[in-house]
């Protein structure tokens, strides 16, 4: 399984607000619906991932304010967005309702009441821009350390996060981070960029409305953990870290808890798969240092900073005593669960037409994602590994990474591919190059073919065949995944999909 360091996928190159016109981003970990697939490198990060796009838009960069204490704090404003704040609420509400049907919730009134009380205390300190969001807080019966927030203020916290936190301030740090994504409208901003890749700029200038916007709101309301609403760039993650630190400070909590929780996760995960939080939230460089810098801007921790409470410790014990969700329990045990091998790839093909490429894939496979990043997998192609995390065992991932160096240089394809392979191996300790990159052609375009061996979530080894090609959108790559013992049965299907790839002229 390719563990991403949670999108889906590749590091985003931060550029200044003056020069950045297109924000290209990929999944930190590629996820299949609410299940995570192949984990890609952290920008990423993953486990999952799905796919997403680029966009023509202005990217905000936080700029320091003017004067002491309150004034010295870093200032942010939401980025370019085709959605209104009211549509954020519509999108988030629909997605939250869908999430409640698909996720194993804890259904513990005490836990939800505590999260609501803590969450609203923090939300009261989040910048609103004059918008009142109907915040809701839910506990998910999942032991993975993770949390996410949907547009409009619908926040879901895994029980594993509550169990992992040493004190209330650390849990508050995670929630403040998620509330910052809501305040900065990162979810619908990402969706706007993804939509920009497939719509004329004129439409994005304000012509998109009525039934077209209504249809888009409905589409985004279908929840999956691989949704574009939950795939943030490193820039967005830095902003959420910094604003979350400010919210902690203003709510009276020790803001150092933000960095402490990150350090705790990193220490606990050394030599292991990265926590799900890092897979879903691509870790920016110098994350702890940037939080510490913001604390200095704020004048240091509050004199009577709150760190813990008896309420938190009581709720933590309540959560520890909760039974594991039946659905999650049924999928554990032997790697791969009880579903057995997927059906053989069909000889009949379905069509996929994207804005950057088109292709055909076996019609008994499912497609997840849109835009420039797509995952294709058969039923049973996603399984739980020994850590209880969902991973892609059979199928394909297609996504876009930023090119390395000058994309017009003669060796740009080789340099960019080398960087991608380095990131994949860094995020997947068991991954090794089995066959060095070789030159091939993909729809007449110069491409590279590389074979890797990696640990399979089913046990044993898997083969990962990667095809990379430079396109105007960036480094487009295709990852074909199957256990070594079954790879021969999938090779012709992978070749068939790749042979069908077509680029727009």
Between 209 and 117, the more confident residue is 117
β-pairing verdict for 154-158 and 136-140: parallel
pLDDT band at 56 (very low <50, low <70, confident <90, very high): very low
Question: Among 68-77, 350-359, 374-383, which is the least confidently predicted range?
Answer: 68-77
pLDDT higher than 50, residue 327: no
Written as one string, the DSSP assignment of 214-239 is HHHHHHHTS--TT-GGG---HHHHHH
In tens, the pLDDT along 164-218 reads 999 999 999 999 999 999 999 988 888 777 665 444 333 333 333 444 445 555 5
In tens, the pLDDT along 372-389 reads 667 888 988 877 666 555
Please give the average per-residue pLDDT across 115-128, as a whole number: 95
Domains of the chain: 81-294+315-320 (no CATH), 349-499 (3.40.1000.10)
Query: What is the overall mean pLDDT for the chain?
Result: 76
CA distances from 296 to 62, 66, 72, 73, 126 (A): 16, 15, 9, 9, 19
Residue 458 tokens read as 């089913």
**Angle, CA of 211, 217 and 221, to the nearest 5°:** 140
Residue 485 tokens read as 């013992």
In tens, the pLDDT along 225-251 reads 556 677 788 888 999 999 999 999 999
In tens, the pLDDT along 457-483 reads 888 899 999 999 999 988 999 999 999
In tens, the pLDDT along 275-294 reads 444 444 545 668 889 999 99
pLDDT band at 504 (very low <50, low <70, confident <90, very high): confident
pLDDT band at 296 (very low <50, low <70, confident <90, very high): very high
Please give the average per-residue pLDDT across 403-424, as a whole number: 89
Residues listed for the chain: 505
pLDDT value of residue 336: 38
Coil, strand or helix at 110: helix
| Distance, CA of 364 to chain centre | 26
């Amino acid at each position: 399984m390719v563990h991403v360091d949670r999108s889906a996928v590749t590091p985003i190159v931060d550029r200044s607000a003056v020069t950045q016109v297109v924000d290209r981003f990929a999944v930190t970990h590629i996820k299949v619906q609410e299940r995570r697939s192949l984990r890609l490198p952290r920008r990423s990060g993953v486990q999952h991932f799905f796919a997403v796009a680029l966009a023509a838009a202005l990217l905000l960069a936080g700029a320091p304010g003017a004067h002491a204490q309150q004034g010295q704090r870093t200032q942010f404003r939401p980025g370019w967005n085709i959605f209104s704040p009211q549509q954020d609420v519509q999108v988030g509400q629909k997605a939250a309702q869908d999430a409640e049907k698909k996720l194993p919730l804890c259904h513990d009134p005490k836990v939800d009441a505590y999260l609501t009380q803590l969450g609203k205390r923090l939300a009261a300190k989040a910048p609103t821009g004059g918008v009142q969001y109907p915040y809701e807080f839910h506990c998910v019966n999942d032991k993975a350390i993770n949390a996410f927030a949907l547009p409009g203020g619908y926040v879901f916290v895994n029980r594993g996060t509550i169990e992992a936190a040493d004190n209330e301030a650390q849990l508050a740090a995670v929630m403040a981070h998620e509330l910052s994504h809501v305040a900065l409208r990162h979810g619908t901003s990402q969706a706007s960029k993804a939509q920009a890749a497939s719509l004329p700029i004129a439409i994005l200038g304000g012509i998109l409305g009525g039934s077209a916007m209504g249809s888009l709101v409905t589409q985004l309301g279908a929840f999956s953990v691989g949704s574009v609403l939950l795939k943030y760039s490193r820039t967005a993650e830095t902003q959420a870290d910094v604003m979350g630190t400010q919210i902690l400070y203003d709510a009276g909590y020790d803001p150092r808890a933000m960095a402490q929780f990150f350090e705790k996760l990193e220490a606990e995960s050394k030599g292991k798969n990265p926590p799900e939080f890092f897979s879903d939230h691509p870790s920016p460089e110098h994350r702890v240092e940037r939080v510490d810098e913001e604390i200095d801007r704020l004048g240091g921790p509050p004199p009577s900073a709150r760190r813990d409470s008896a309420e938190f410790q009581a709720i933590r014990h309540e959560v520890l005593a909760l039974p594991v969700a039946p659905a999650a329990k049924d999928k554990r045990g032997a790697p791969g669960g009880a579903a057995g091998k997927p059906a053989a790839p069909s000889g009949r093909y379905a069509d996929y037409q994207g804005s950057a490429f088109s292709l055909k894939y076996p019609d008994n496979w499912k497609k997840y994602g849109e835009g420039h990043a797509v995952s294709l997998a058969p039923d049973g192609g996603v399984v739980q590994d020994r850590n209880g995390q969902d991973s892609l065992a059979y199928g394909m991932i297609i996504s876009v990474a930023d090119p390395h160096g000058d994309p017009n240089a003669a060796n740009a394809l080789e340099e960019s591919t080398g960087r991608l392979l380095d990131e994949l191996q860094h995020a997947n300790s068991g991954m090794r190059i089995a066959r060095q990159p070789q030159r091939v052609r993909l729809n007449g375009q110069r491409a590279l073919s590389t074979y890797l061996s990696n640990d399979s979530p089913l046990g044993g080894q898997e083969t990962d065949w990667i095809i990379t090609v430079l396109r105007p959108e960036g480094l487009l790559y295709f990852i074909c995944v199957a256990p070594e013992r079954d790879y021969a049965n999938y090779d012709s299907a992978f070749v068939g999909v790749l042979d069908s790839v077509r680029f727009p002229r």
